Structure 1
Amino acid sequence: MSEGTSGYEATHIEVLEGREAIRKRPGMYVGSTTIRGLHQVLFEVLGRSVNDVLAGGGGCVDVTLTPDGGVRVTDNGPGVPVEAAGDGGGVGLESLLTRPHAGAAPGDRHTAAWSVYGMGPCVTNALSSRLTAEVRRGHVRWVQEYVRGEAVAPPAAAGGATGSGTSITFWPDADIFETTECSFAVLAKRFGEVAMLNRGLSLSLTDERPKNGLRSVRFQYSDGPADVLAALDAETGVQVPPDIVAFEREDERMAGTLEVALTWHSLSEQRVRTFVNSVPTCEGGTHADGFRAGVTAAVNTHARQRQLLTTADPDLTAEQVGRILTAVVSVKLDSPQYEGATRGRLGGTTVHDCVEQAVREYLGAWLARHPEQAADIIGRIKAPSWD
């Protein structure tokens, strides 16, 4: 078809930017318009607050689900700079709420990622029927309101303030989302997960919607992946065995840190949860493969040294070693490489080698220091499975 008969011209091209583009195709920015996308709208605001307090060495972030369908996220960080106050350095409040990616977490080892999108609070603002921002900074409280992503007025000083921090309250747009009711249970599970993986972080979730009274939970942990491991066993009603192997190691070869917690139990199933910068990697990846290789090598080396395997016995396989294993593997990387756009599987051979070496060395030393427990573990690994 020729250009003259197609009826398609440059004037037919619709160019959308900023809030218009986000509202036109919300799925491109938060994944969907279902409850999953609704939760992502919250995570775009929450991620900024969490990383603000983590940058300061820890702090509190409180999320409240209000009776009128709103969501309030409050932190005790330094407070977002306000352009009207002449604050310099960093992303200002209006830029944060109107420019995609402004204030989004850089994704290094010191941050907790909340999604594969990382668009920042601008997306939340554009997809909300109303949003109110309050900043406490320099002993002044600043307030600004938006309607469907457009500012009603510039930020205005609204009196004095004690302490510092940022509070953003938004009402998801019912014209865009299939539901505007966040799931308390889903949010609580994710909040707990992130808090467990980031020591010093305090996350709370309060639901003011129930007619029979509010419900509230607070998450703060000190043991990192070992807390996640305990939560995994709690889901199945299995008591965590006393022999938990847990360690942390920094390795500049992979520009990041590794945290591992593992134990062998009585269930004939393998449960290994893996994370990259606090985001679950459902498809695993090089950190998961390196972990399994390290565990298998350490167990086989110890079994040979202690003659728990005869010369005629073949090495234990990764499937055998992992059959009754529960583990949590968390890596925090400055520049994670993923296989695919969904970031479900981590790539990078350096990560595999670093994780494998760290696990092999630490677990090997632990088995040597605990010969009785090691013999019991290897005996259970060698026992036939009747599943």
Structure 2
Amino acid sequence: MATTGKRTAGGRQESYSADSLTVLEGLDAVRKRPGMYIGTTDSQGLMHCLWEIIDNSVDEALAGACDDIKVTLHTDGSIEVEDNGRGIPVDVEHKTGLSGVEVVLTKLHAGAKFGNASYTAVGGLHGVGSSVVNALSSRLDVEVDRDGKTYRMEFHQGHPGAYSDADPDHPSPDSPFKRTRKGRPTPLRVVGSAPRKHTGTRIRYWTDPEIFNNTAEFSYQQLIDRVRQTSFLVPGLKITVVDERIESTGDLGRDRLLEMDDAGQASSAQAPAPQQEETDGTRPVVGGAESLSAAAGEDAGEDGDAASPSRDDGRALPMAPDDSQGHKRIEEFLHTGGVVDFVDYLSKGEPVCDIWHISGEATYQEETQRVGPDGELHAEQVERDCGVDIALRWVNDYDSTIRSFVNVVATPGGGMHVDGFMNAMTREVRKVVEANARKLKVNLKDPHTKIERDDVLAGLVAVITVRIAEPQFQGQTKDVLGTAQVKPIVTRMTDDQFGQMITGSKRGFKEQAGRVLEKIVGEMHARIQARKTKEVTRRKNALESASMPSKLSDCMPGNDDIAELFIVEGDSALGTAKAARNSAFQALLPIRGKILNVQKASISQILGNKECASIIQVVGAGSGANFDISQARYNKVIMMTDADVDGAHIRILLLTLFYRYMRPLIEEGHVYAAVPPLHRISLAGKHKGEYLYTYSDDELEGKLAELKREGIAYKEDIQRYKGLGEMDADQLADTTMDPRTRMLRRIRMEDAEQASRIFPLLMGDEVPPRKRFIVENADDFDRSKIDT
């Protein structure tokens, strides 16, 4: 007995005992918490119930036992799904003592999909679909054709029993219902006979208004879209939708009926119709047939012998509306081309290539839980079959249309099958582009000219399907496939088959592959140009938000990938550099002599120093912890100082600034030192007008000796440059600024820890350590390490 607890002023009982627990039996839990099983009780949940019933019939088709499904929308609001599959088992299940029909429709997590034998690839995995729909229906009738008989059973809100309908031709959930006594099996009634070789299942249900809210509405368009999609994914499966609620409205001119001959070509249709184009954007597809409407009992000729007008491509035209009599709306769907037909249907715009098809089968190992003879679960290593079926095509468009499925379950979030396909396809395209770079006009030396996945996806229409037993999904919604073994299988098949297509090695694909590659490379160039345009806007905004130093001679915007900032020593060198530079991508910033030694200075001193502040502002990426290299306005920062001791000192001071406050510039190799020459040798004789440049006294002596040995005359007055200002524009361009002829020294920081010790030692406030370092290393002095 439960103890009686005290009650608070609000009436709440304080005690908590076993009597406080509620046990929901059978399908009562589904009715109590329907959202756990169908998501919501609005329109989405209403449609989900229909998908569960249809998917059970589709699973029969996937098992090869069904090729015809009929969905009927009755005038009383009920929905009926009929198939010619094997029929729900009618014999008794030994553990429960119930017929197979009652087990399937009243027991959660019950069905043949757990045994791994009757079904090898299914959409439903949890065994709750039919029973959940039963629980959430005010009435559900089921009829099964097996063994030459038609069996029937009826349910009210998930409970088995029998209805007493006043008019058997018009059943109603309001008819009197006699419920089977609890704990007893409900006998299957034999209500008729059926052809002995015919099997199938018919389920008709009325959704329960006590469960679904007032906003729940049935969507006919969702039904048609889902049925059409399924007909693509299960080639050869005919699905018919009959809407008895619709009378003739004169709007059926958009509909048509195609039938297929053995070759898979459109052959016959309804009665002749006037020459007109479709208005709804749908169309028949190559290799399959889509039957979107047939008027029941009309004069079209039910045997399909009536001729039908066609376009130049042989496709049938829409039926003309016939308002002479009322009729049901009937739409049939049948495709024999599978995913190839699906891609053709999804393709909008001018095709760049034909539809490419990748398919195959492979096996993989997986550990799973099997139900043993004793009903217990046992871990077992099994070999799974994986069927891959992919169709793709590029069209002249920018958007991509990618649909992915596992069995017939849509996976809008992708998963392992999509990852395997995308990775392999992108890799194969990159390989071909690199191998044909010159033909495709791709500059492989430019790090930005690299094919990205978005370039490949532009204009791509693809349907990716795999069929496996017991797929593992990420989450309850089945949006993402998580079976990891599928990815390498899809990758290998794509590498092999798509690789042959995109390289043109497969017969008939060379010209198509060329057009596809041109499109992809074009998308790459467009992406790069768009990024440059964005950079132009960013540069413009940066210049507008903070005025640049007046002494900055900036380059033209739009060339950020190659833009160079020359930090020039002195105004005299600036004048020559202006005439020598290429203003399209080379900017100049002059500094006056030696800048502040930032190793000794405080932050306030640095920001107050005009030269340091100008450099930080012009680079445009901030400083210190806030430095963002992605915002840098130049790809190269080049220190262009005189080739003497003072010039070397200025470079050290600049490097100290970069190291302390813009270190990523050095770490990622964006800082350079220009290498101007020290001497110019004017050649004479037959080499008159030619010049040689040397960069040190030792090199000069060696070069003069070499000229003497080779008998080449030169003028004795060797020009020695005291500074960059002594060069004319042509000389400065040839030796120091023109990327085609100049020499640059990239500043590297191979050992950051050592650099962090050396900079404070050589540039810091402490004089004694620096003096000691110089004295101790004086004997190791190597003149060749001095860049003068």
The TM-score normalised by the length of structure 2 is 0.45
Give the 5 Å matches for 1:43-192. 43-83=51-91, 92-103=100-111, 105-106=113-114, 110-113=120-123, 118-153=127-162, 154-162=187-195, 163-178=198-213, 181-192=217-228
5+ residue gaps, structure 1, are: none
Q: Does 1:347 align with 2:347?
A: no
**Which whole-Å deviations, capped at 9, do the CAs of 1:73-110 have from their partners, x for residues lacking one?**
11111222224799xx9971111111113236459884
The partner residue of 1:203 within 229, 239, 242 is 239
The code of the aligned residue for 2:445 comes to A
Contact kept? 2:353, 2:512, Cα under 8 Å: no
Contact kept? 1:48, 1:105, Cα under 8 Å: no
The TM-score normalised by the length of structure 1 is 0.89
What is the DSSP-based 3-state SS (H/G/I as helix, E as strand, rest coil) of the residue aligned with 2:357? strand
Q: Percent identity?
A: 34
Q: Which residue number corresponds to residue 396 of structure 2?
A: 266
Q: Does 1:357 align with 2:471?
A: no
Q: Which residue number corresponds to residue 377 of structure 1?
A: 516
Q: Does 1:319 align with 2:328?
A: no
Distance 1:296 1:372, change over 3 A: same
Q: Which residue number corresponds to residue 344 of structure 2?
A: 230
The code of the aligned residue for 1:68 comes to D
Q: CA deviation at 1:241?
A: 4.9
Give the 5 Å matches for 1:10-29. 10-29=18-37
Q: CA deviation at 1:311?
A: 4.3
What is the DSSP-based 3-state SS (H/G/I as helix, E as strand, rest coil) of the residue aligned with 1:18? coil
Distance 1:267 1:288, change over 3 A: same
Contact kept? 2:69, 2:84, Cα under 8 Å: yes
Distance 1:216 1:112, change over 3 A: farther
The code of the aligned residue for 1:264 comes to W
Distance 1:238 1:203, change over 3 A: same
Contact kept? 1:104, 1:120, Cα under 8 Å: no
Greater Cα shift, 31-40 or 207-216: 207-216
Distance 1:286 1:177, change over 3 A: same
**Which whole-Å deviations, capped at 9, do the CAs of 1:136-161 have from their partners, x for residues lacking one?**
11111112221111122432111222
Q: CA deviation at 1:262?
A: 0.9
The code of the aligned residue for 1:207 comes to D
Q: Which residue number corresponds to residue 31 of structure 1?
A: 39
Equivalences, count: 380
Distance 1:90 1:337, change over 3 A: farther
Distance 1:64 1:172, change over 3 A: same
Contact kept? 1:66, 1:207, Cα under 8 Å: yes
| Pairwise CA RMSD | 2.8
Q: Which residue number corresponds to residue 194 of structure 1?
A: 230
Contact kept? 1:58, 1:201, Cα under 8 Å: yes
In 2: Cα distance, 1:377 partner to 1:113 partner: 35
Q: CA deviation at 1:259?
A: 1.0
Contact kept? 1:91, 1:102, Cα under 8 Å: no
What is the DSSP-based 3-state SS (H/G/I as helix, E as strand, rest coil) of the residue aligned with 2:515? helix
Contact kept? 1:69, 1:181, Cα under 8 Å: no
Greater Cα shift, 304-313 or 246-255: 304-313
5+ residue gaps, structure 2, are: 7-13, 163-186, 249-326, 365-383, 531-788
Give the 5 Å matches for 1:292-331. 292-307=422-437, 308=440, 309=442, 311-312=444-445, 314-331=449-466
Q: Which residue number corresponds to residue 244 of structure 1?
A: 355
The code of the aligned residue for 1:366 comes to M
Greater Cα shift, 353-362 or 335-344: 335-344
In 1: Cα distance, 2:434 partner to 2:400 partner: 23
Greater Cα shift, 167-176 or 154-163: 154-163
In 1: Cα distance, 2:425 partner to 2:400 partner: 13
Distance 1:243 1:170, change over 3 A: same
In 1: Cα distance, 2:152 partner to 2:138 partner: 17
Greater Cα shift, 249-258 or 140-149: 249-258
**Which whole-Å deviations, capped at 9, do the CAs of 1:92-138 have from their partners, x for residues lacking one?**
11111111132364598843415x86513111111111111111111
